[in-house]
Structure 1
Amino acid sequence: MIRVLEPPRLAAHRREPLLNVPPVITVLAAAMLLIQLVRDWVDVETGIEILALFAFIPARYDPSVLADGVLPGGVAADAWTFITYAFLHGGWAHVGLNLLWMLAFGTPVARRFGVLRFLSFFAFTAAAGAGLHLVTHEGELVPMIGASAAVSGFMAAALRFMFADGGRAWRPGVAEQAVHAPAPPLMDVMRDRRVIGFVVVWFVINLAFGLGEPAGLVDGSIAWQAHMGGFLAGLLAFPLFDPIRRRPGSDSYSRTSRF
């Protein structure tokens, strides 16, 4: 059992964001697809070893459940599994669904953050999701896999700037402006009824899927707590990664250096 979670010129400009996927998204997608291909190709024993080494297993952090040395990787794996689990998936439907959501919500975030900030945000939200999963599944032996926590973080980050100005940023031709415009404060964002509706629906769907254990999408139950951990981390920590700053007393903005 696995837990998983203007004239023609203007028209051309409007199509550009839909046709150009940021390279960092392409690389992440290729890595996840390649890993899934490898897991399908190797024998069962090797597949179990991969899970033991790279999946997130709460029991790894509880010495009363597992003695030291039972799981491979030691202290290093205790750290890297907070992130590496996001590259493993429970099947092709699982990885495909996560990649579709990452394409939709990760693309504007990648354009805004740049490569290094985007990858750091991916790691941060994945780790936050694993952290909340650890708190709610202390000592559990069931491994958790999937990029859903990080994807949930991308959704939350996109809300911080794509719903600006009454949500018009989601319309074609306006999205690119929102990507490069300063984000409003969180309290202002949360006054938008569209944002409130999106967040409520998102939480309800995650609770329904997580508690209902829908069949057919993944082999195992859905780690909905990890989704929520990634979402909340992305929503609250967005300013720490955002390179665009509003100048005090002005509607103009400046872009900080990328890291």
Structure 2
Amino acid sequence: MDASPDLPRQGRVPVFNMPGVVTVSIGLLLAIHAVREILLPDAWDIRLVLDLALVPSRWTTWFDPAQADAVLRAASEAGDAQFAAAREGFARYVLSEPGAYPWSFATYGLLHGSWMHVIFNSVWLAAFGSPVARRCGAWRFGLIALAGTVAGGALHVAIDPLSSSPLIGASAGVSALMAAAARFVFQPPAAGYGTQAWQLPPHRPAETVPELLRNRTAVTFLVIWLATNLLFGLITLPLGAENAAVAWDAHLGGFVVSFLMFPFVDPQARPPR
């Protein structure tokens, strides 16, 4: 006699085995880039980037208009001297439209510089966003990604306040989801579970910082992540129309904020004592 439980017949395995909110998020990023690449005239696309991208100097001069001259000097001195005039001209154009554009601290995460850029972010979003969405649900997933995006943009502005280069990309939000996932995905399996396919592991709270530091897999991941981002800050990658340095500071801001806030939004957090 077969003593195994009478489980319901499983349906077909979905092609994209991801939570709906992750699938929708990736679809939105790809759709926005497709519209920009295929449908929008160049003039409209430039206008879209100017309105939605995060430009540090715009925020800096909104707080302190006296910084305008410093912004122009920074634009003419940074990078290759061959393009100094073009960078200075763009900085003048940005400064000619004063305003804080506060929404840009979130909307810059919707834009990308190339197909490689958006696909790269989508792959990491699928890998690390999926466990977070399964554990936390759609709205907490969105809150973590949004908080990381805003924090990453804020740190980028704080570190490079005179820059007139537009910051775009979902990397800060993806880094926030990586940090959230790191708090629980590297936990060792619960004792006594996993020997049978029908057994579900118990819900466990996220690891505390001391527990993470004792978890060799988690520590290895954190060290590799930090080293990779510092390395990317020193090299250039073809993420847009021209090679550009990866905004490692935005990644770091998103990661740190999410790493610290996750226990407060985790639905499986430890009950208060």
Same-fold call, TM cutoff 0.5: yes
1:46 aligns with 2:29: no
The whole-number CA distance in structure 1 between the counterparts of 2:31 and 2:267 is 31
What displacement does 1:246 show?
2.1
| Contact in 2 for aligned 1:24/1:110 (Cα 8 Å) | yes
Aligned counterpart, 2:103: 80
What displacement does 1:212 show?
1.4
Aligned counterpart, 2:245: 221
RMSD: 3.2
In the TM superposition, 1:105-124 aligns within 5 A as 105-124=128-147
Structure 2: give runs of 5+ residues left out of the alignment: 62-66, 69-90
Q: What is the identity, as a one-letter code, of the residue corresponding to 1:56?
A: L
Name the CA shift for 1:20/1:207 in 2 (closer, same or farther; >3 Å). same
Name the CA shift for 1:177/1:125 in 2 (closer, same or farther; >3 Å). farther
Q: What is the identity, as a one-letter code, of the residue corresponding to 2:251?
A: H
In the TM superposition, 1:224-239 aligns within 5 A as 224-239=248-263
Matched length: 234
Name the CA shift for 1:35/1:182 in 2 (closer, same or farther; >3 Å). same
**Residues 7-39 of structure 1: per-residue CA shift (max 9 Å, x gap):** 9969x69x9799531111111112111110121
What displacement does 1:54 show?
0.3
The whole-number CA distance in structure 2 between the counterparts of 1:162 and 1:139 is 39
What displacement does 1:207 show?
1.6
**Residues 92-120 of structure 1: per-residue CA shift (max 9 Å, x gap):** 11100101100000001011111111111
Deviating more after overlay: 185-194 vs 52-61: 185-194
| Contact in 2 for aligned 1:182/1:246 (Cα 8 Å) | yes
1:164 aligns with 2:162: no
Greater Rg over alpha carbons, structure: 2
Aligned counterpart, 2:55: 57
Q: Which has the higher helix share?
A: 1
What is the TM-score when the length of structure 1 is the normalising length? 0.79
The whole-number CA distance in structure 2 between the counterparts of 1:167 and 1:134 is 43
Q: What is the identity, as a one-letter code, of the residue corresponding to 1:37?
A: A
What is the TM-score when the length of structure 2 is the normalising length? 0.75
The share of aligned pairs that are identical, in percent, is 38
**Residues 122-166 of structure 1: per-residue CA shift (max 9 Å, x gap):** 110001111111111112100000011111111111110111127
In the TM superposition, 1:195-214 aligns within 5 A as 195-214=218-237
The whole-number CA distance in structure 2 between the counterparts of 1:111 and 1:186 is 22
In the TM superposition, 1:138-149 aligns within 5 A as 138-149=161-172
**Residues 221-246 of structure 1: per-residue CA shift (max 9 Å, x gap):** 21111111111111111112111122
